[in-house]
Amino acid sequence: MKEQGRPVLVIGGGPAGLQAAKDIAEFGEQVVLVERRKELGGAPIRWSYHTLAPDFRPTEEVMGPLVEFCEKNDNVTVMKGCVVEECNGRPGEFRVRIKDESAKEFTEMVVSSIIVATGFEHFDARVDPRYGYGRLPNVIGINELEVMLKQRRVVGHDGRPPKRVAFIFCVGSRDRSTNPWCCTVCCGVSIKQGIEIKQLLPDTQVYMIYMDIRTMGLWEKMYWDSMEKYGINFIRGRVGEVYFTGERLLVKGEDTLVRGPFEVLFDMVVLAVGIEPGPGTKQAANVLKLSLNEYGFLAPRLPNVHFDSGKEGIFLAGACVAPMSVEEALSEGSAAAMQAVKFRRNIVKKVPV
Amino acid sequence: MLEKDGTVQLGNDEKLELTKDDAKLLEILSSQRRAKLAFGTTEDYLKMLERMKELEKKGEIIVHHVTEEYDPVGVRTLSGRVKRIPTRETWQHKSCGQCGHIPGYISAFYWIMSELGIPYVDDTNQTSCTAWNYYGSGTSNPVALSAVFLRNMHVAYEKNAYPLIHCGTSYGDYKECRYLVIMNRDIRERVRAILKKVGRELVVPEELVHYSEWLHVMRHEVAARRKHDVSNVKVAVHAACHTYKLMAEDYTYDENILGGRKPAPTSSVALALGAQLLDYSNWYDCCGFGFRHILTEREISRSFAYFRKIRPIVRETHADVLITHDTGCVTTLDKSQVVPLAQGYKETIPVISDSQFAALAMGAHPFIVCQLQWHIADWKPLLAKMGIDWKAAYEEYRSYLDKVKGGMKPAFIRSPPRRLEPRGGAKAFRVDEPVMT
Amino acid sequence: MDSRYAAKLVSRLGEDGWHYGGLPGLQWEAENARSADRSVMIQVVEELRNDTRFEEFYRACINCGNCTSMCPPFRLVDFEPRIVVQKVMHAKDEPELLYQMMDQYIWSCFQCYSCWEVCPAHNNPGGLVAILKEIAVRHGLPSTKKALEPYSKILYKIMTTGTQITPDMHTTVALFRDWGPHKAELAKDIRVERAAVPVESMAGVMDKSWKVDKETMNELMTIQKESGVVDSVRHTLKDVADMVDDTAKEAGVE
């Protein structure tokens, strides 16, 4: 490839990666977008997110145009089902080897800069035996609930709609036994889902069992609306155990504010399974020799400046750096795109302080 | 600080010009911020006043306006609007508690109005608000309370005198009822039906005025007639919960009194008379009246009143007198001192109303007019400090009592003659009505 | 999963699948509520939610605790306006939770509305308590009877004359003994003291606060009858309601 035509490599086709690719393409530059899975869109598409907080916007409205742009635009080359296996060379002239997993083929190319946007995985709650995920019927994660909400059909394993649902916040987060960090978005997403369940099943009792409510910024409205408009109940306390009686789920916790220690039967328990670094992130870090922090997320040079990986020509964006919402990931993608283009056009040689 | 010409003085000597809407919003927000009030409640209150105008236009209700005949004076409230306080020809909405066992409260107030040459109407055709059955026992309901409220307002309207509400409880109850009647059609129609049965129409007062607001507005006239020097008297003030916490946007706040952070009435009277006004840490605490508690669970009321109000006030301010503007507060703060003092606690302070304090300063008789003998906490040091020879006054009072025992009629405080004519109607004037006006 | 063991576990739970109680004071309140008539519980919740003032007084509650921080009875007893709103919030799905408060909890409130003033969501816990008190009276709950019985005399006086704590209540020392021996002194000469008050509407009046016109009292009694106050009182203090009816009949009120 000619020096002029060297594309930017974007690893990861989720919100951050797609936005980055779009911005770079609109600048008139070439982009190669490599996505591990067979479809673009990242977590929102993979898990069929029904709507996005805070205003319940259908996911397609946000993700649809992005995916369409990247698939149709001439400046963007999409490689689905592919993984970056090797990276050599130097900034401005990275020589990468991309493997097509199913066809077992390799592509080699030279790229000017790289944006890592490898996203996250939902915590696998089987790791935490407390809640019986994977063992007990009717214990599901918020990711699985989104699929049900999209199909407008929320039912238990027996096919019947639940009469009483509990959301357990902070599963796989804020816990030294699993992941110590806070996933920032689960509070808002759970409350959003609680509202959507109430819209589908107005007579179902919905309980949110939480430690803190972290509906940041303008997401706060959902919290107040959930109580005022939808009659959702909130119990402050963490759940110690979920037990199956043979018919229903017995949830044990402490209501630190009103009832004291409690045991109560639910028909369905939804776990707010958090954000954790996925295999794609680990793999990219290995290949590009990027450092990971103690939590396994990609470590930028300074924690306050996410796009700066500390390595010249390599930029970071999205949930592979820290848990965040879709709107934040989109902004980070744009930011990384800007850095990549600046680098590509030799405007700034060294990564800014 | 918002100037009159709609500009704002910025810190660095710059002036910023605001649009009319922005200036209005800034006015509301800054007055509320100082008193910690929330914006949303003001919106509801202003909406209610708008609705009142609409209903009047549609002919669904009559509004008793504060017209120029009542010589109104404007005061600021937390809602940002100016409230019109009538100063003459007011209809006395009496407090059952004051008239029942703090007669000095009311006689001092009448005495002040009489001294200032201000005509007023003292009507026997008045029921109490019955809000004891709301806040105390839960035995009433919104329709009943609103019907009693509007029944009294109708009488005042017929007499062509503007209602002045003497009790904080009544004032708070009437604020709630007015809001319900205006905003809720169902309640309004049910009240209308009941009032029809007693021959009355729906008359809603444009302003709900507490007597302490009247005293606040008239404080300079009161101070001009001051006879005793009170500059060495230390005053602590307690404001009643139902005047300023219940629908906080209706009560009087003044930027020049306590920086607009606390309600202006009562404190302003003490300041106008030249007394030393002192602040204390539990200013915003309730007195502990509790309605039902003061009668049937008294340990709670007096424990709270003494340990959370009286003792801290005495320890922090060493004030000579605690002045308040509500029946329940005078009762609780005064009577709750008895048992603790009997048990050996030392702190005590006399508790009287702003009307009694003002009347005393103006030279009213401490016992014949201000009826201090009904107050338990020791007021003798206060009177001494004010330069009032209480021993001589008490002797006078005892001989006055003897004369009354012997059959003499007391020298009744009289209102100066009215200028306004009562409105027509069969119930307006009754021949057997005792001469009050 | 052993089905007998499961059954044993579940038998500990209440009818609606709840078991709790650990906060002080809550244990016996919960016990009392648990043994009450469930249909009454549900009715109480419905009456609360259908009251015209409910919309004004009840909003989202984020458990900030501002209300409790300013609440006077909280200084002395285990009463929290925050708990009131929380229980009102959950009442729709757990009527028993609300019913626990109807026994003694709500009667602790001073109705000072300090809670209303400081709530960031504009809740009115005191107002909700006032509505609950009215509901308790209407249903004639035994605890309400106990709370209001000492109040009977005052209640009768207010309902028939529209005034209360009248001078004639001071003639016997007993009623206000804790207001001081000074008060007892005053009580001795009270008729003369009252006759000497220099306000014409009050002078010499012993059985009312001021000289209320007969027609005014009749109007009051009519209003109370028509608006259902007498019927409400009848459920809790039947004697008072009967006395009010008799007085009204004697006065010629229809």
Taking the domains of chain B in order of start, what are their residue ranges? Answer: 1-34, 40-211, 228-403
State which of B284-298, B327-341, C8-22, C151-165 shows the largest mean pLDDT. B327-341
Do the two domains B40-211 and B228-403 of this chain adopt the same fold? Answer: no
Nearest CA in chain B to C109: B290
Residues of C in contact with A243 (CB under 8 A): 9
For residue B432, pLDDT beyond 70 = no
Q: What is the pLDDT of residue A269?
A: 97
Distance CA(A281)–CA(A321), nearest Å, equals 9
**Touch of A by B (3+ CB pairs closer than 8 Å):** no
What's the whole-number mean pLDDT along residues A39-54?
A: 94
| Neighbouring chains to C with at least 3 Cβ pairs closer than 8 Å | A, B
Task: Report the chain C residue with the minimal C-alpha distance to residue A206.
Answer: C93
Q: Contact B198/C222, CB-based, under 8 Å?
A: yes
Note whether residue A151 is domain-resident: yes
Cβ separation of B198 and C219 shorter than 8 Å? Answer: yes
The CA distance from A97 to A79, in Å, is 12
Q: Is the same domain home to A94 and A31?
A: yes
Per CB distance under 8 Å, which residues of C are interface residues toward A? 1, 3, 6, 9-10, 12-13, 17-23, 26, 59-63, 82-83, 86-87, 89-90, 92-94, 97, 121
In whole numbers, what is the pLDDT of chain A averaged over residues?
93
Q: Do A233 and C93 touch (CB under 8 A)?
A: yes
Q: Which of A219, A245, A274 is the last residue of a domain?
A: A274
Q: What is the reported pLDDT for C23?
A: 64
Q: What is the mean pLDDT of chain B?
A: 90
B352-411 residues touching C, CB cutoff 8 A: 368-369, 371, 373-374, 376, 400-401, 404-405, 409-411
pLDDT tens readout for residues A211-245 = 999 999 999 999 999 999 999 999 999 998 898 98
- What's the rounded Cα separation, in Å, for the pair B405 and B403? 5
Q: In chain C, what residues touch A228 (CB-CB under 8 Å)?
A: 59-60
The burial class, CB within 10 Å (0-12 / 13-18 / 19+), for A62 is: middle
Q: Please indicate, yes or no, if residue A209 is contained in any of the structural domains.
A: yes
Is residue A139 domain-shared with residue A243, that is, in the same domain? yes
The answer to the question of residue A350 being in a domain is no
- CATH class, domain B228-403, is alpha beta
Residues A78 and A151 in one domain: no
pLDDT of residue C175: 67
DSSP letter at C102 equals G
Q: Could you tell me if A205 and A239 lie in one domain?
A: yes
Residue in chain B closest to C208 (alpha carbons) equals B100
Q: Are residues A152 and A264 in the same domain?
A: yes
How many degrees, rounded to 5, is the angle at CA A299 between CA A293 and CA A300? 155
The verdict on B343 touching C (C-beta cutoff 8 Å) is: no
Is a pLDDT exceeding 80 seen at residue C8? no
**Nearest Cβ partner of B296 from C151, C163, C183?**
C151
CA distance C3 to chain B (A): 49
Q: Is the dihedral of CA A82, A88, A91, A95 positive or negative?
A: negative
Lowest average pLDDT, out of A159-168, B419-428, C57-66, C91-100, goes to B419-428
Q: Is residue A353 part of a domain?
A: no
Q: What is the mean pLDDT of residues B416-424?
A: 86
Cβ contact, residue pair C202, B295, below 8 Å: no
In a domain, A1, yes or no: no
Looking at the structure, do residues A257 and A143 belong to the same domain, yes or no?
Answer: yes
- What does the buried/exposed string (b/e) look like for C185-204 if buried means 16 or more CB atoms within 10 Å of the residue's CB? ebbeebeebbbbbbbbbbbb
Contacts B–C by Cβ distance under 8 A: 264
- The residue in chain C having the minimum alpha-carbon distance to the alpha carbon of residue A230 is C60
Residues A324 and A213 in one domain: no
DSSP letter (8 states) at residue C109: -
CA of C148 vs chain B CAs: smallest distance (Å)? 7
Let me know whether A143 and A236 are in one domain: yes
Please tell me the predicted confidence (pLDDT) of residue B39: 54
**Angstroms from C111 CA to nearest CA on chain B:** 6
**Whether B206 contacts chain C with CB within 8 A:** no
**Structure confidence at residue B86 (pLDDT):** 96
Q: Is the same domain home to A86 and A193?
A: no
How would residue C2 be classed by pLDDT, with cut points 50, 70 and 90? low
Please give the average per-residue pLDDT across B167-174, as a whole number: 95
Would residue A40 count as lying in a domain?
Answer: yes
Residues A152 and A183 in one domain: yes
Q: Containing H/E element for B173?
A: helix B168-183
Chain B: closest CA distance from residue C167 (Å)? 6
Least confident interval from A292-301, A327-336, C174-183:
C174-183
Q: Show residues of chain B in contact with C155, CB under 8 Å.
A: 133, 137, 139
Domains delineated in chain C: 18-139 (1.10.1060), 148-251 (no CATH)
User: C interface mutation test: which of A214, A242, A245 has the most C CBs within 10 A?
Assistant: A245
For the structural domain made of B40-211, what CATH number should be given? Answer: 1.20.1050.140
CA distance B109 to B129: 20
> Residue holding tokens 């205006």?
B182
- A349 is a domain residue: no
Find chain C residues with C-beta within 8 A of A258's C-beta.
Answer: 23, 83, 86-87, 90, 97
Tell me the average pLDDT across B69-93.
Answer: 93
Contacts for A223 with CB less than 8 Å, ≥ 6 apart: A187, A191, A213, A215, C60, C62
User: pLDDT band for position B2 (50/70/90)?
Assistant: low
- Clarify whether residues A36 and A172 are in a common domain: no
Q: Is the pTM of this model over 0.90?
A: no
Mean pLDDT of B128-134: 92
**C167, C196, C209 ranked by CB distance to B410: nearest:** C196
Task: Give chain A's domain count.
Answer: 2
Of C17, C19, C61, the CB nearest to A227: C61
Closest CA to B118 of B145, B144, B86: B86
A223, A225, A264: residue with CB nearest C18: A264
Q: Which residue of B has its CA nearest to C207?
A: B100
Local confidence band at B429 (pLDDT 50, 70, 90 cut-offs): very low
* CB < 8 Å to C55, chain A: none
Exposure class string for A279-315: b at 16+ Cβ within 10 A, else e: ebbebbbebbebeeeeebbbbbbeeeebbbbebebbb
Q: Which of B125, B151, B304 sits opposite C213 (nearest CB)?
A: B125
CATH number of the domain residue A265 falls in: 3.50.50.60
Q: Say how far apart CA A66 and CA B52 lie, in whole Å.
A: 53
Q: What is the DSSP string of A63-103?
A: HHHHHHHHHH-TTEEEEETEEEEEEEEETTEEEEEEEETTT
A163 to chain C: nearest residue by CA? C93
Q: Do A99 and A163 fall into the same domain? A: no
Asked if B429 has any chain C CB less than 8 Å from its own CB, the reply is no
Task: For residues B167 and B138, give the distance between their C-alpha atoms in angstroms, rounded to a whole number.
Answer: 19
Q: Has residue B28 got a pLDDT over 80?
A: no
For residue A22, the number of C-alpha atoms closer than 13 Å in the C-beta half-sphere is 23
pLDDT band, very low/low/confident/very high, at B14 (cuts 50, 70, 90)? confident
Taking a C-beta distance cutoff of 8 angstroms, is the pair B214, B164 a contact?
yes
Domain boundary among A213, A241, A274: A274
* Chain B interface, best mutation among C158, C183, C191, by max B CB count within 10 A: C158
- Domain with A84 in it: 8-119+278-344
Distance from CA of C38 to the nearest CA of B (A): 23
Query: Residue B125: which of A326, C211, C175, A321 has the closest Cα?
Result: C211
Distance from CA of C67 to the nearest CA of A (A): 14
Q: Are C96 and A262 in contact (CB under 8 A)?
A: no
Q: What pLDDT was estimated at residue C3?
A: 72
User: pLDDT per residue over A2-38, tens digit each?
Assistant: 445 689 999 999 999 999 999 999 999 999 999 999 9
Quick one: which of B155, B204, B211 has its CA closest to B177?
A: B204
Nearest-Cα residue of chain C relative to residue B407: C195
ipTM of the complex: 0.90
Mark yes or no for CB contact A257/C82 under 8 Å. Answer: yes
Which of A274, A302, A328 delimits the end of a domain?
A274
Q: Which of C165, C211, C223 is facing B124, going by the closest CB pair?
A: C211
Mean pLDDT throughout C147-172? 84
**Per residue in B316-361, pLDDT tens?**
999 999 999 999 999 999 999 999 999 999 999 999 999 999 999 9
Contacts of A225 in chain C (CB under 8 A): 60
What pLDDT digit, counting tens, does each position of B366-414 carry? Answer: 999 999 999 999 999 999 999 999 999 999 999 999 999 999 989 899 9
User: Averaged over C7-26, what is the pLDDT?
Assistant: 73
Lowest mean pLDDT among B5-9, B32-36, C246-250: B32-36
